[in-house]
Amino acid sequence: MSQPTTPLDLVLITGISGSGKSIALHALEDAGYFCVDNLPPELLRDFIAVERQRQGHSRHVAVAVDVRSAGSLPHLLPLLEGLRQEGVAVRPFFLDASTDALVRRFSETRRPHPLSADAAGASPRALVDAIELERELLAGLRELSTVIDSSLLRPAQLARWLRDAVGAKGATLTLVFESFAFKHGVPLDADFVFDLRVLPNPHYIRELRQQNGRDAAVAAYLAAQPEVSEMLSQIEAFIGRWLDAFNDGQRAYVTVALGCTGGQHRSVYAAEQLAQRFAQRAATLVRHREQDIHAS
């Protein structure tokens, strides 16, 4: 009796070196795909057989194949057709770019083209010659694929285009609100830093000095201060204005650091309040650097 198999959605990423295959694969990985880079084509069928036997664990799979497997590429086209006949939903995408764009990218990264090295003892190929040779080797694969031209695309645009093409959801943006004390330095992972030291300080009220911004008495005191409400509203408006842009930029996390003198009262209260205000609009995390250090 044959083993039951689970449905398999296979996205095949190919294309010209320097056109963005790594960016594409990372975008799919962030969207929940299981990704394998530079899988030799002769191993593709065995890999799929293993995936299809994952009973009850159907998942999307993305595989990148490029010119580094040039010797096996002639066998890839009939293999893809055979997989389709076996019920595997194969969706090939070919990333391309103009020669000018590719030359510029290789110049910026200073990485060698995979085909720059010729046969043993021969002179290395010029970059343009290596690119043209790669186009010839991959021409057949390009013909049967959905082509995405990345010549003028930023990495975030390419990632979004590919996710849209495969119908994948992007990575969920998480807003991190982190309180800290300026006297101990600004958090290195902060994307935005707001200085709350201009606000009224509960430290100078004897009854509140030993409490922190999560305690009801401190929260009530700060909530009653007009400057605190105004500051929080302005920070909320700024983050809210650019929230969609952060999502389009494919950032997994945006850290908003809120600092006061000791990281105990004002910054803690502000982080808690802003997290509550954004809870219905994005995934949120709250970190209190100084409080967590003292608690550990």
pLDDT of 82:
85
The mean pLDDT of 197-203, rounded to a whole number, is: 96
Q: Is 246 helix (H, G, I), strand (E, B) or coil?
A: helix
Q: Is 146 helix (H, G, I), strand (E, B) or coil?
A: strand
CA distance 153 to 150: 5
Residues 5-58: tens digit of each pLDDT: 556 788 999 999 999 999 999 999 988 899 999 888 888 888 888 887 775 556
The superfamily (CATH) of domain 9-166 is P-loop containing nucleotide triphosphate hydrolases (3.40.50.300)
Mean pLDDT, the chain, whole residue set: 86
Residues 168-177: tens digit of each pLDDT: 766 678 899 9
CA atoms within 13 A on the CB side of 149: 6
CA distance 186 to 202: 21
| pLDDT band at residue 194 under the 50/70/90 scheme | very high
Task: Determine how many CB atoms are found less than 10 A away from the CB of residue 17.
Answer: 23
Domain ranges of the chain: 9-166, 174-295
pLDDT of 219:
97
Residue position matching structure tokens 């430290």: 203
The mean pLDDT of 153-169, rounded to a whole number, is: 84
What is the side-by-side strand order in the sheet with 60-64?
34-37, 60-64, 9-15, 89-96, 146-149
